[in-house]
Amino acid sequence: MDSKLTNPVKMKKISMIFLSAALIASLALLTDCSPKGDFTQPELGSRSVKILTKGGYKFKDLNKNGKLDLYEDWRQASEERAADLLSQMTIEEKAGFMIISQINMVQEGNEFTSELNEEDVVARVNMFTGNELSEPVVNVSGTTRGIKERHLLHFILRANAPAKVIAEWSNNVQAVAEDARLGIPAIYASNPRNHIATDNSVGLNVGSSAFTQWPGTLGLAATNDLSLVREFAESAAMEWTAAGIRKGYMYQADLATEPRWNRIEGTFGEDADLVSGIMREIVLGFQGEKSGPHSVVLTTKHFPGAGAEMDGQDAHYDYGKNQVYPGGMMDYHLKPFIAAIEAGTSAIMPYYALPHQTEYEEVGFAFNKGILTGLLREKLGFKGIINSDTGPIDNMPWGVENLSVTERYQKAIEAGVDIFSGSADPSRILETIRSGLVTEARIDESVLRLLKEKFDIGLFENPYVDPVVADSIANNAGFREKADLAFRKSIVLLRNDKSLLPVKPGTKIYFEAFLNSRQSDNPHNVIIPENNEWGVEFVKSPSEADFVILWLTPSSSLFGGRRGGREGSSPGAVPIDLLLSKNMIDVAYVNRIASTKPTAIVVNFSKPFVISEIDRNASTLLATFGTTYSALIDVITGKFNPAGKMPFTIPVSQQAAVDNLEDVPGTLEKEGYALFRSGEGKSY
């Protein structure tokens, strides 16, 4: 035998490799494992646990045993602390730790309070589509019961409350968690809260909030300014952390290659290289170079890129479950995820869809071992958390419909999922473990990742926040100034054929903005600014005007009905039509005004709408992606020189959109596809 292998010292080193991390941590407790050197005492936040003093430093006695455990020792590495805490957790606590559920705030009318919701909410229909579930699911747990009985410590906050109220409520939740057996803090995830958006459906965007409002994600991309994107992310992270929200269910790294897909508004466009640069700035801005007490950890979604949906259908629905790559460009869609991984994104979320006619198994990505383990972990090297989208077990089990619930959990866990969204009941994960479908060792892998994230961001030392500070940071003047610049830089000038812009001082302007259809009881949604700073006159009717601005916002809703692909392509599918008239725009009115008055037509693009119905009258055309009227007037009057660039390609016709290749960006589609290309935009 090789003498190197018979050396007793080296044999001991080799054997230690095979000890579990939990056992190593347990052995360390038998000796004085206090690290040597000087440390900076962190601020400790507590409500009920005692403070221990050792070696001149203070620590929280989270498990209430009167001694300093390794996981309570902030001087230790996150990995070692997580291993020690894991060794003290029961199988029931581990199962609860693998659930992230919606958590409700108490609401009366439009007002929220910091009181804790103590009622279970049982869902009988899919929260997104309204379809009836095969069996009821507890998707919201009473707070105290959820934490102390169901061992839930990961939550999704969808309530849109003032920052001060969120902070007060967060402190109340953390106090309950601190009082539980091991004192593990809670963490709340949220969808984006800082953007003007057309579609604020559940799971997409919280909508106008107490935090600083910026352009939509497409608008951030249109600024073509990565430094401004970083400033956005850093300032938003300050608002979130001040209110106690430490996890973002965001952002979409999906590419807008299929123009009919209804989730394009949450993307950064179609250009993989630009989106990759943006994802890097977003992750570093929210999380920092290294996760810490300043960080909002992100869940980048939806792996491996959800933009290539067949016929523009969406995988929330059975008829939209197929993701396709007719152009062979799957690697193109991976680029922004690779950038997010390299920047250190804490978690990644796979989509509901299944890969259709590829080398991979035709099961939803949450159940797809080839995608999550083979591609994401082994090939791309991702070491963080894999977080399922909301509801693949009960609502969207595409490709595994014939499996039982426990078998679905088994397949998803074996595929690589660490934490499941869509339920507040861990009993079925527990049943999956106890029945032997998955090993406790595999469960431990997931729980270790989840624990490490909380240790990394300092929640164990201080999960509490100051409501007064939260209120003062949210939407402060400095942040608004940066956002105002972004609003202006996001506006794209597409045409100025007759050189009508910028308008001259003294011009009489009629400015009408209508969201979707023009309301019959208020047909003229006229904007007349209270403070006129532009040297022009705003009038109340087109007849009085020298110049007209028509700002159109076509309808956009993911969950507004069955809006699928080509008729007959899938049961229940209805063709998605990108024409303005099919998206609640009064085309006849627009053409009538634009054909009689010098007019700037402005379209707020939440996806690449087809403008062929108004194109002959659109000699002056601008694109917005969630901005303010004052920013738009600044551009039209020349106070701000337009600088925005299109984040996606506009198809020349509805037929062009129908004939496109779902995974191919518009700039690479066949000749004649594009009316305006990604990256296009004029200045004065």
**Strand pairing report for 347-350 and 354-355:** unpaired
Three-class SS state of 114: strand
What is the number of other CB atoms lying within 10 angstroms of the CB of residue 573? 22
Give the phi and the psi of residue 9 in degrees, each rounded to 5.
Answer: -70, -45
Residue in the block written with tokens 């600014």? 529
Nearest-angstrom CA–CA distance, 606 and 196:
11
Output DSSP code: residue 526.
B
| DSSP of 594-653 | HTTS-EEEEEE-SS--B-TTTGGG-SEEEEESS--HHHHHHHHTTSS------SSPEESS
DSSP H helices, 180-244, are 217-223, 226-243
Write out the H or E segment, with its range, that includes residue 23. Answer: helix 21-28
Nearest-angstrom CA–CA distance, 41 and 58:
7
- Of 482, 16, 428, nearest to 220 by C-alpha is 482
**Do 244 and 166 contact (CB within 8 A), yes or no?**
yes
Three-class SS state of 559: coil
Return the HEC string of 601-616: EEEECCCCCECCCCHH
**Do 382 and 356 contact (CB within 8 A), yes or no?**
no
Strand partners, 355: 323
Indicate which residues carry an active-site annotation.
389
> What's the residue count for the chain?
684
Residue 341 contacts by C-beta under 8 Å, 6 or more apart in sequence?
348, 380, 381, 382
Amino acid code (one letter) for 573: A
Nearest-angstrom CA–CA distance, 322 and 575:
15
Nearest-angstrom CA–CA distance, 578 and 162:
36
**Do 454 and 62 contact (CB within 8 A), yes or no?**
no
**Do 197 and 265 contact (CB within 8 A), yes or no?**
yes
Output DSSP code: residue 374.
I
Cis status, amide bond into 304, omega within 30 of 0:
yes
Token output for 547: 């110049």
Nearest-angstrom CA–CA distance, 616 and 631:
26
Give the phi and the psi of residue 449 in degrees, each rounded to 5.
Answer: -60, -45
DSSP H helices, 244-370, are 272-287, 330-343, 369
Nearest-angstrom CA–CA distance, 548 and 443:
62
The dihedral through the CA atoms of 316, 268, 334, 418 has a sign that is negative
**Do 464 and 176 contact (CB within 8 A), yes or no?**
no
Residue 579 contacts by C-beta under 8 Å, 6 or more apart in sequence?
609, 610, 612, 613, 654
Nearest-angstrom CA–CA distance, 156 and 121:
14
Cis status, amide bond into 529, omega within 30 of 0:
no
Cis status, amide bond into 598, omega within 30 of 0:
no
Nearest-angstrom CA–CA distance, 673 and 656:
6
Output DSSP code: residue 103.
E
Nearest-angstrom CA–CA distance, 19 and 557:
52
Nearest-angstrom CA–CA distance, 606 and 305:
18
